[in-house]
Structures are given as structure tokens and as C-alpha cells.
Structure 1
Amino acid sequence: MKPIIVLTLLISLNRLSQKTTIYTIGDSTMADKIKPEENPETGWGQVLRLFFNSNVIIKNRAVNGGSTRSFIDEKKWEAVFKVLKPGDYVFIQFGHNDEKLTDFTRYTNPHTTYRHNIIRFVNESRKKRAIPILFSSIARRNFNENGVLVGTHGDYPLETRLVALEYKVPFVDLEYYSELLETSYGPEKSKALHLHFKPGENSYYPEGKSDDTHLSRKGALAIARLVVDQIKLMNNPFFKKLKKQLL
């Protein structure tokens, strides 16, 4: 092989080795959506790549309907774990579907199964020398008649915080920051962050839509911006590399 070709290959491999991979695991508020050119629903993990330079690879493994239980039982975590390599990041956000009391395939007790599943994601990421980052669930648009935003996630965000403290995991309190976002828009204007369409207003939802959990593209971009802003502000040394790769 000619020296010039060898040199080119070495440079290419070196550039590839410098790339940072972020795996995002979680639920539909984070997941990629089908037919994004038509579908107004957008996951915040779907647009996260827009905030990083080309040295960051986002591999969004979040799934619609995902809970910590189903993500493990359906072997989705196993698929991520197998390919993790040293220096990768794992962004972890669950809770919305762990709350589903009527679905035994997804429900977890926040203080037992949910907690231990989150610990598993953390420990197994570290086993591969990857860097886990924990996120509390984003807030739902749930204003009462007095215009007060009321939380819906129970103790799941609390357990996420406690695991982060106990296991010294970088933590972004996305529930808190998304609550601030929702309240800054107010009860009516915050509809734009979610999926609110009258019949005939949007071709993807011809019969209309009223969804206060999932995000519009506007909402997804706003949540991704919150994540990026927190990465910029945190002094945790694990964020040092990511900070340099933000746009």
C-alpha cells in the first residue's frame, strides 16, 4: 500500500476516534418519530444533534411507550450495552411510562423496580467506561383552573435525583426546567409546545389533536436547548468534552 494512502487512512481513523457518541435512552418525549417531514410530533432527542458540531454522533435509542421495564425486557438496553465503548455518553430519561398502573409490561414501583433499573443503566454504562447522565422526566402541560402547573410524575423524578446523588451521576433536573418553560408560556400559549390542532388544521391529524405530553417541533427544540444550556453551565468534569463540541 502506498505511503500516501496509509497516511490518509490513519488520518481518517484518527478523526473517527475523536468523535463522541451520545446514546439517548428513554420514552416518546425523547424518541425519533416516523415520517418527520409530515408528523408534527417531535422528540427532544430527535433534534439534539442540531446543537452539536460534526464531531458528535447522536444515536437516539429512545422508544415510544418505553419504560425502564420494557426497555430492558424488550432487549433494547442489551442492544445499547453491547455497542457501548469507553468515552460514550448515555442520556437516560424515563418515568412517563413507568407510571402506567394498568400496564404490567411497563409499570414499575418508583422506589423499587424503577430505582434499581436506573441503577442498572448507570452501573452497566460505567462497566463499559461510558458516561451516564440522568434526566428527570419533562413536565406535562397540566395547568389547573387557577393557571397553576401541577406535577404528574409522582416520586419518579425524586428517585432519579436520589440515584444521581448516591451514585455520583451527573444529573439534569429537566422536570424543573421544563416546568419553568411551561409556566413562562402560560396555560394558553404553552399549547404551542405540544400537539394541539383543531379538526382539519393539520393533515397528519385530520380529526384534530389535544396532547399535553408529547412535543411539537417547537417544544422539542426548546427542551433540547434546556439540555444544552445545562451542559454549558455545569462544572462537572464529565461535561468538559461535550462543552467543546457544542455549537
Structure 2
Amino acid sequence: MRNFLKYRLLVLFAGIILLSACKQEQALNIFCIGDSTMANKKAEVYPETGWCQVVGDYFDESVTIHNHAVNGRSSKSFIDEGRWQVVLDSLKEGDVLFIQFGHNDQKDYDSTRYTTPRGTYTENLERFVTEARKKGAEPVLFTSIVRRKFGDDGKLIDTHGDYPPATRKVAEKLKVPLIDLQKLTEDWVNGIGDEPSKAMFLWTEPTDRFPNGRQDDTHLQVEGAKNVARLAMEECRRQHLDFSERIVLNN
């Protein structure tokens, strides 16, 4: 009898260890929707880099990033062009959805992209969240990263208006995790300062492709994208989001 009980205990412990190992190795798919500050970039525009292009560097090998963010898209055009439907059709239970719009939603001169913060922008974010949840996926909202625009006082000037507050409202209303990249990147860029922060954004020397160089205060260079991705993942871990145990920050 004693040997039988020992055998049962060994089988039980082995089962627990096996289940734990399987849980750790279970694949996780993270889908990203948003604009050019997140998007994958072509080699010819190097060193321009979207932060979701490198965010996979901050996860273990069980995570796969599916980056559907596209240059120039707003929450409206992403839906109207059928891009959201493609992502929605791919989502399944247990997946994670990163959502960051706002840069192009504020372009009131373009009816194909413009949304109102408390109106169509809010409605679109709520649609992403509710439809993703119906598929069993976990949505995470991100406010837009800052533009590098410094005032005479040496501090960043807000260029996003009511869009980040609207995102925060949606997160509060629908109980969605919120990563406030507007605030995180504002603190980060202010800490670097005006001139030094050019090395994070797309300020580049003249080349054959760009004979005048680039002076771009919206998009990121490789190091800037890595820093933004790290800030985002540090905040995900601080909030103990479900996938945070898969985050690796020693890169």
C-alpha cells in the first residue's frame, strides 16, 4: 500500500510539472493595429522603425507578433479599407490585440481619415475592443507616442489634443488595460532634451535616397523604437497584464 501511494504521488507531481511546462510553452499571438509609429518599415527607409517592429525583442520565444499597423492609417481608414476585418478574422481565443491610433485621426483636411475624438474615434476604439473580446482576445489600448515638438521653455508641446484623453475614457468605460504612451514618451523625451532627442526620432544625414536628409519629428529611428517598445512593455509588466510573464527586459 505504501509503495502504491508513493507511485500515485509521483504520477501526480509529474503531471503537475508537465502541465506547468505546457502552459509556459503555449504559443501566444499578439496582433498590432495602428499607424506608422507602430508599423514595420521597408529596408529602403532605414533607419526608420516602428515600435511594434521591434517589440518582439522584449518577449520570450513563445510569443509571435503579427504587426498589421500601416503608415498613414487612422482608426477610420483602417476599418474602411477592410484591414480590421482581416485582423478580426484572424483573432482567436487567448490572443492579444494592441491598439494605437490618433496621429492620423486628427487630420481634419482628409475626410478618409478624420475622426472626432469624442465621436467617431471613440466609436471606432470601442468597436475594436468589443469585437476583439467577442473572439476571446484580450485588447490593450495605447495612447499615441509624442511628436518631438519643443516649446521656447524647452518642454514638449502637446500635438494630439483630445485624442489621448478620449482613449483613456474608452479604457475606463470598457475596463480595458491602458498603456499611456503619450505620458510615458513625453517624460522620456523631455528627459533627453531637445537636441539629443533628434537621435531617437528620424533626423538623418543626407543620402542618395534622401539628398536633403530627414528632419522628421513623428517617426522613430531604431534606438528610439526600441526605447518606446521597452517603455510599453515595462508598463505592461508593472500592470501585471496576463502576458507579462512572457516579457523579457534584459535586452
Say whether the fold is shared (TM-score over 0.5): yes
Alpha-carbon separation, structure 2, partners of 1:226 and 1:16: 24
**1:31–1:44 Cα contact (<8 Å) kept:** yes
Residues 216-244 of structure 1 show CA distances to partners (whole Å, capped at 9, x for unaligned) of: 00110000000110011113xxx23x222
Q: Which amino acid aligns with 1:137?
A: S
Percent identity for Structure 1 against Structure 2: 47
Q: Which residue number in structure 2 is paired with residue 28 of structure 1? A: 36
Query: 1:45-124 residue pairs with structure 2 within 5 A?
Result: 45-124=52-131
Say which of 228, 238, 246 aligns to 1:223.
228
Deviations 1:79-112 (A, max 9, x none): 0000100000000000000010111110101110
The structure 1 segments of at least 4 consecutive aligned residues displaced by more than 6 Å after TM superposition are 14-17
Match of 2:15 in 1: none
- Alignment length (residue pairs): 227
Instruction: Choose the corresponding residue for 1:154, options 142, 157, 161.
Output: 161
Larger radius of gyration, structure 1 or 2? 2
What TM-score do the two structures reach when normalised by structure 1?
Answer: 0.88
Q: Distance in 2 between matches of 1:204 and 1:173?
A: 35
What amino acid sits opposite 1:215 in the alignment? L
Contact 1:30–1:62 (8 Å) recurs in 2:
yes
Q: Which runs of 5+ in 1 are unaligned?
A: 1-13
Deviation at 1:152, TM superposition (A): 0.3
Q: Which residue of 1 aligns with 2:246?
A: 245
Cα distance between partner residues in 1 of 2:159 and 2:40: 23
CA deviations on 1:162-202 (whole Å, 9 max, x unpaired) are 0000000000111000001110110110111101124x3x4
CA distances 1:44-94 after superposition (whole Å, capped 9, x unpaired):
000001111110000000000010000000000000000100000000000
Q: How far off its partner does 1:17 sit?
A: 8.4
CA RMSD of aligned residues (A): 1.6
Q: Which residue of 1 aligns with 2:49?
A: 42
Distance 1:119 1:20 in 2: 23
When normalised by structure 2's length, the TM-score is 0.87
The answer for the alignment partner of 1:194 in structure 2 is: 201
